[in-house]
Amino acid sequence: MAQGAVSRQELIRRRRSGGFVGRRRELAVFRENLTQGAGADTYQFLFHVHGLAGVGKSTLIRQWEAMARQEGAVTAVVGDDVHSAVEVMESVSAQLGRQGCALKSFDKLLATYRQKRHEAEAASAVQAIQGVHGVAGVAGVQAAPEAARAAPSPSSMFAAQVGVAGLGLVPGVAAFSGAVRPEQVASGLDHMRAALSSWLRSHEDVELVLSPLRMLTPRFLADLSDVAGRRPWVVLSFDAYERTAPLLDVWLRDMLVGEAFGAVPVNVQAVLAGQGPLDAACWGDSLDLVTDVALEPFTEEEARALLTAGAVTDERVVETALRLSGGLPVLLDALARSNPQEVTAVGDPCDTAVDRFLKWETEPGRRDMVLACALPLRIDEDIYRALEPAAGVTAENTFSTADGFRWLRGLPFLSDQSGRLRYHDVIRAPMLRAQRTRSPLQWRRRHDHLASLFGTWRRNQERTQSPEGYSYWDDPLWRDHRLDETYHQLCAQGRAALPDALHDAVVACGHSTESLRRWSLLLVQAGKDGDDADLSRTGQHLLGCTRQPSGEVDALTLLLSTPALGTQGRALAHALRGRLHRIDGRHEQALADYTAALTLEPHLARAYVGRGHTHQSMRRYGAALADHNRAVELDPESPKNLISRGCAYSNLRRYEEALADFDRALGVDRHNTWALEFRGLVHHRMGQHEAALSDYTDAITIDPRGAWAYAARGNVHLTLGHHERALADLDHSLALDSAFPWPHCWRGETYRALGRYEEALADFARAAELRPDCGWFPYQAALAMRLSGAPGEADQWQRAMDIYDAQTLGEPAFADLPRSNLLVLLCALPDWERAEEQLRTFLSYSPSHHQIAEALTDLADLQRAVRIDPDRLEPIVDRLRETLPDGA
């Protein structure tokens, strides 16, 4: 891999290119590492370049990148425009793809992740209805009351401990993480996993959305290994690492020096470039593997050499340049390229290196464009073209747009990030300060112009998307335009633009942590550039929230405490926080937030839907129906609202009205699998089994990977006694997603009906393992043991009874189901005296008609499964029927 022979002229050009006077040692270190080969004992695979802003870190890693490419390497440079490890992998894949080394398998999985995350967000608004034995409907999982929840799974406990420990690596969060109990985080993970299982179609999709790094990184490394096998080197550089380290440190460490995600080929080199040292708490045990490259400002000798290379030789000009630059290469190179030949009078009010550079630029059009182009966060040719008239630039006083942008791209203090140019902070900050203080009116006018430009692009992007069921926030280009538009509105209008900016921050909380982090950084940047310390502090506080486990809730709470947030923004913040409380099972807090949202904004349909789902989770079906009715009134064509109300009708056993809503939803969206599956469940409950089979079959046709549709269809076949068909569907369902317990239970019941007791017991055991807080699974196992004579029946009865006893002492709203199941269990034992006592207890709590009907259904199933004394059972059945209204 040694470098071939070059001419003296080529050698001189290389040494002078990129402003690398005085960086020969750093170039030699990297070149020597390439020439010795990846197998050498002294070979290094991890570099850390660090130094002050403007010292030349970015330029050095770009030179290293060019050097590596000359050796046949493929390279990627990631800046601080990424906001997660997922975005890092996406950026690397895109850059390698442009060099003919696409990471195709990773790109495919990434696309699936984006799609499934969007599906989960959309589905979360539709809560599953309460189904048999505590299942919350067709695809839902009802959160168990706190007193009856199972202990967290071992995998979740491990993830929680790692997650809590990792918080200590984030500045400012260590003290907080010490107060977090891992078992609390683990319970949340288990609950989230259960919720995602209800929204997505396979276990793999759930894990992909829940743990994207754990699923995406191995695929990323596998593709990277394939590229490394075809190219001599793969060089990955991370610029501005002081900004992205809090997000990437642990992930990069585990990937580069550990094997948490798989092996990384030895010819993959990584370069981290930032202002400060690596975090010892994260990298301490691995610092011996890091090649440290510290960059200092140029010595006077090095600085003079750089200026001489730029033909700046007048001693007075050189001395001024040395004084103004402080030895920073980025400023020295800028001054050298401007080629000043005389020094203006001392005492200039804009006595900074940037102002000196611009003053030496004799072409007014160029000077104005450099200043104007510093205003956007990023610049490309389209933005440059739009800025020309705003800066007063015409063809008469400068050059063509293409030539002008090419000249701008060549300036040393601009770097290319993902196709857009970005000013170095050392240059941009004083440029902005000079424009803001010299002419506040022009400052506002130019920012207004840019806000209007990005607003136009945002609206144009909206017209390319279908409004039906689509969130503009899912479009990265739309988000970029909206972010830039908001930044310039804040700079131009100050506090007047703050309510809209904070409203967007609220929406970002509901979209994703990545979006919240972007909007937090936006507020920090706008506050800094517009000289608004309060705005910057608000952004910093929001940024801190993104590093905490309860980040979105904390961020919404912070925004609600901000006076500038308008009424609509406050209502939305309450609704979004209510949704987060509801997902975590904090129902009373969720109700309070939804009610607060509706007090502020009585026509906010999503708040009625969310409050309706909360009431439904608490089994307050009448209150749920009232809220869903209001949501449908406000938005009668929304399939989500219609499905939600249909679920509420179903819980009240008002099946005809439920079917009408599902039919209306399918009239709007005939491919809505949720509507089909919910309608199938209602048909099943009404005894219209053929119609249920048709609905589930249609859902499977639309989504052949819909595991739950297969499971539900299998359950209908089980009811009809079509045992072989039931097994086929349940086998298919579990092949798609083996992590959901109810298909295991139903397949166990099918095996039991076929006399295949060993297989039935294995399925009941697997269901209990997946959902240890559900007493129905040991109950079913006990019945199978009685029929087969297998040992352990008494233990299974006792286990089921213990679970139900504990649940009756939990949240009152959830106690009807365990009381009902205890009644069925005592009849199955049989223990008739206790069963009659339990019947009186059950009815004394005035259970819902729905729950009484469920008890009757379960007793009928019991009679079909095992022999029960009809003389003792019939009085209990008759008493239950007497409590139901006619026709129920």
Among 211, 264, 204, residue whose Cα is nearest residue 234: 264
Chain Cα centroid distance, residue 690: 41
Q: What pLDDT score was predicted for residue 58? A: 86
Contacts of 518 (CB under 8 A, 6+ apart): 83, 479, 483, 508
User: What burial class does residue 652 get, using C-beta atoms within 10 Å of its C-beta: 0-12 exposed, 13-18 middle, 19+ buried?
Assistant: middle
User: Rounded CA gap, 645 and 855, in Å?
Assistant: 24
Cis peptide preceding 830, ω within 30 of 0: yes
Q: What residue ranges of the chain have pLDDT lower than 50?
A: 1-20, 125-186, 344-351, 468-469, 887
Q: Does 270 lie in the same domain as 304?
A: no
Q: Report DSSP state, residue 813.
A: G
Residue 336 forms part of a structural domain: yes
Query: What integer best gives the mean pLDDT of the chain?
Result: 82
Say whether both 169 and 237 belong to one domain.
no
Burial class for 791, CB neighbours closer than 10 Å (0-12, 13-18, 19+): exposed
130 and 184 co-located in one domain: yes
- 854 and 882 co-located in one domain: yes
* 703 part of a folded domain: no
Residue recorded with tokens 């992909």:
208
Domain co-membership, 305 together with 275: no
The CATH number of whichever domain residue 39 belongs to comes to: 3.40.50.300
* 319 and 237 co-located in one domain: no
Looking at residue 832, its pLDDT comes to 94
Total structural domains within the chain: 4
Q: Are residues 191 and 252 in the same domain?
A: no
Looking at 213, 245, 273, the residue that finishes a domain is 213
If asked whether residues 122 and 206 sit together in one domain, one would say yes
Are residues 126 and 204 located together in one domain of the fold? yes
Euclidean distance between CA atoms 751 and 745, whole angstroms: 10
User: Does the residue 254 lie in any domain?
Assistant: yes
Question: Can you say whether residue 239 is alpha, beta or left, with left for phi > 0 and alpha for psi between -120 and 50 degrees?
Answer: beta
Same domain, 207 and 238: no
Q: Do 245 and 316 fall into the same domain?
A: no
CA atoms of 444 and 491, how far apart (whole Å): 7
Domain boundary among 213, 240, 256: 213
With a CB cutoff of 8 Å and minimum separation 6, the contacts of 574 are 560, 593, 594, 596, 597, 600, 607
Domain assignment present for residue 266? The answer is: yes
CB environment 40-59: b (16+ within 10 A), e (fewer)? eeeeebbbbbbbbebbbbbb
- Asked if the structure places residue 591 within a domain, the reply is no
Please give the model's pTM, rounded to 2 decimal places: 0.74
Closest to 872 measured CA to CA, from 816, 820, 823: 823
**What's the token pair of residue 700?**
């499977």
> Is 847 contained in some domain?
yes
Q: Which residues contact 133 (CB under 8 A, 6 or more apart)?
A: 774, 776, 817, 821, 854, 858
Task: Count how many Cα atoms sit within 13 Å of the Cα of residue 330 in the half-sphere of its side chain.
Answer: 22
What the block records as the tokens of 270 is 């990584």
pLDDT at 51 (0 to 100): 83
pLDDT for res 400: 63
Range of the domain at 330: 300-362
Reduce the DSSP state of residue 379 to 3 states and report it: strand
Domain boundary among 341, 362, 383: 362
- pLDDT in the model for residue 651: 85
The torsion defined by the Cα of 374, 377, 382 and 385, in degrees rounded to 10, comes to: -20
pLDDT at residue 412 in the model: 66
256 domain-assigned = yes
- Is residue 641 included in any domain, yes or no? no
Same domain for 118 and 58: no
